Amino acid sequence: MNTADLGLPVDVPSTALFTDQYELTMVRAALKAGTAGRRSVFEVFTRRLPDGRRYGVVAGTGRVLDAVENFRFDPGVLRFLREKGIVDEETLDWLADYRFSGDIWGYPEGEVYFPGSPVMRVEGSFAECVLLETVVLSILNHDSAIAAAASRMSSAAGDRPLIEMGARRTHELSAVAAARAAYIGGFATTSDLAAGFRYNIPTVGTSAHAFSLLHDSERDAFRAQVDSLGSGTTLLVDTYDVTEAVRTAVEVAGPQLGAVRIDSGDLLLVAHRVRQQLDELGATGTKIVVTSDLDEYAIASLAAAPVDAYGVGTQLVTGSGHPTASMVYKLVARAESADPRAPLVPVAKKSAGGKTSVGGRKWAARRLDEHGVAEAEVIGTGEVPGDLADRQLLVKLVEGGEVIAREPLDVVRDRHAAARAGLPLSATQLSRGEPVLPTEYAHGPSGS
C-alpha cells in the first residue's frame, strides 16, 4: 500500500505566506467592521474547461489538506508582516492564533469534473476561510491541469506505460507536484527522485547522451552501463547511428537486453526499423521506449508502432498547452450576522464579462443512463432529489479543522481510472469538442 500520502516524510514549512496580500487586508478590515466572524461558504469551480477538453481531473486535494494543516503564522512570519506594515497589531494577534477550524468538502481526488462543478467547498468564518483562497487555488489549478493532460496521454497510450520525466522543464518544486498529478492521471513511473521519496511513486532512469559522449566509443559506454546495471537495463541508441547502436547494444548485453530508448528522429519509422532489427538479432523480448517532446497527439500517432513505453516531459508539466485549470474560489453564501445561529443567505457576483457566479451552498451529483454511463453533472442547492441521493459527489475532507480523508495515492489513481471509464466513449477523443457531460442546475441558474 502506498503510505506516503498518509504522513509526509519530509518537513513542510508554514504555508501561511503562500497567499496574496489582499487576503490579509480583507481580514484586517473585516475584523474592524465586525464581520470577520460571519459564517461563510466558499466554493472552488471553473466556469469553463480549457478549449477542446472534454473533462477535467481533480488533483491536488491531498496537497491542499497538507497546506491547510501547515497554515500557521509563526514568529518569523508575523515579524515580517509587522515590519512591512501589512496588517495592524490587532490583526497580528488574531493571525498568531490562526488554526482553520471549519469544514471542507470536495470531489474525491481523481474524480472528473465539468464547468460549474463545486470541486471544493470551504466552510467556516469569513476570516479563516478567505485566508486559504490563494494556496488552495494555486495547488488545485496546477495539479488538476497536469492530471488532465496526463489522463489524455494515458488514454492515448492504452496499455503501454508512461514515464513522467519533466523535472528539468519546470520549477523544482512544481516538478514534484507534477509527478504526483501525472501518477493520478495514469502515468506509471517518474524520473524525479524527490517525487519518489515524498509520494512513493515508482522511479526509473538509466543514462543520457552525455554518458555515451563521455566514453571513447559507444561500445565502451554500453559495456559500462551493462556492467553496472545488468543486461536488463535500457540503452540509449540514438547518440550516433541508430542501426549501429542497436547492433552494438545486443552484442554487449546479449539478446536478453531489457530495452532500447529512441529520443529523436521520425519515431514511427525508426521504431519499426528497430523492432525488425532487434527481432533479427534474436532480441525478441527487448522493449522499445520512445521519448522526444511527446504529447497526447504524438502518442496517439504511435499507436500502430511497435513501441512498448513512452517518456513524456515538457508537454506534461506544462499541461499540454493548458498550464492552469482556471479554477476560482468564490463566496457563495454567508450569514447575516456573526451569530452562529444566523441563517445563510446566497450571494453571487453579477458583473458582466462572463465572470458571474452562482449563489448558494451547493451539492453535486452525476446522473447515469440506463447503461450506467454518466449523462449529466447535476448541481443544486437545498434538498437533493431522491433519485440522485446515492450519486452525490462531494465528500467531507476536513471536519472541525481536522483532516479526516487522507488517502493512499494508489487509491486516487484507481479512482480516476474508474471515473474516466464511467464517462461516454467520446470523453477520450482527442478531437476538439465540448465537455462530454452537460451541467444542469436543479434549482435554476440563480442557485436560490
CATH code, 204:
3.20.20.70
Q: Check pLDDT > 80 for residue 3.
A: no
Looking at residue 444, its pLDDT comes to: 46
Looking at residue 1, its pLDDT comes to: 37
**Are 166 and 314 contained in the same domain?**
yes
**Are 82 and 225 contained in the same domain?**
no
Which DSSP category does 186 fall into? Answer: T
Contact 442, 63 (CB under 8 A): no
pLDDT tens sequence across 239-294: 999 999 999 999 999 999 999 999 999 999 999 999 999 999 999 999 999 999 99
CATH code, 82:
3.20.140.10
Residue 361 within a domain: yes
Mean pLDDT for the stretch of residues 384-388? 94
**Are 187 and 259 contained in the same domain?**
yes
pLDDT band at 448; cut points 50, 70, 90: very low
pLDDT tens sequence across 423-445: 999 999 998 889 999 999 986 44
Long-range CB contacts for residues 188-191, cutoff 8 Å, separation at least 24: 188/161, 188/162, 188/163, 189/161, 189/162, 189/163, 189/164, 190/163, 190/164, 190/165, 191/163, 191/164, 191/165, 191/167, 191/311
Residue 432 within a domain: yes
Q: What is the mean pLDDT of the chain?
A: 94
**Are 293 and 197 contained in the same domain?**
yes
Residue 446 within a domain: no
Looking at residue 446, its pLDDT comes to: 41
**Are 326 and 314 contained in the same domain?**
no
User: Which of 5-19, 213-227, 288-302 has the weakest average pLDDT?
Assistant: 5-19
Q: Check pLDDT > 60 for residue 55.
A: yes
Question: Which H/E stretch holds residue 369?
Answer: none
Residue 167 within a domain: yes
Contact 63, 109 (CB under 8 A): no
Q: Check pLDDT > 50 for residue 6.
A: no
Final residue before a domain boundary, out of 275, 298, 320: 320
pLDDT band at 354; cut points 50, 70, 90: low
Contact 382, 444 (CB under 8 A): no
**Are 383 and 434 contained in the same domain?**
yes
Looking at residue 144, its pLDDT comes to: 98
Mean pLDDT for the stretch of residues 400-417? 97
Total tally of structural domains belonging to the chain = 2
Final residue before a domain boundary, out of 296, 320, 344: 320
Which DSSP category does 37 fall into? Answer: T
User: Which of 183-192, 255-264, 322-331, 334-343 has the weakest average pLDDT?
Assistant: 334-343
Final residue before a domain boundary, out of 320, 335, 353: 320
pTM over 0.75: yes
**Are 330 and 315 contained in the same domain?**
no
Mean pLDDT for the stretch of residues 185-193? 98
Domain residues for the domain of 79 are 4-146+322-441
pLDDT band at 52; cut points 50, 70, 90: confident
Q: Which residue has the higher pLDDT, 252 or 51?
A: 252
Residue 448 within a domain: no
**Are 314 and 329 contained in the same domain?**
no
Location of C-alpha cell 537486453: 257
Residue 152 within a domain: no
User: Which of 139-148, 164-173, 351-360 has the weakest average pLDDT?
Assistant: 351-360
**Are 107 and 218 contained in the same domain?**
no
Cell of 329: 474560489
Looking at residue 447, its pLDDT comes to: 39
pLDDT tens sequence across 21-50: 999 999 999 999 999 999 999 999 999 999
> Considering Cα of 213, then 166, then 150, then 434, what sign does the dihedral take?
negative
Nearest-angstrom CA–CA distance, 166 and 296: 15
Residue 188 within a domain: yes
Question: Which amino acid is located at 335 in the chain?
Answer: A
**Are 348 and 266 contained in the same domain?**
no
Cβ burial of 377 (10 Å; 0-12, 13-18, 19+) is buried
**Are 276 and 289 contained in the same domain?**
yes
Task: Calculate the dihedral angle through the C-alpha atoms of 281, 285, 286, 287, rounding to the nearest 10 degrees.
Answer: 140
Looking at residue 357, its pLDDT comes to: 79
Residue 447 within a domain: no
Q: Check pLDDT > 70 for residue 135.
A: yes
**Are 211 and 335 contained in the same domain?**
no
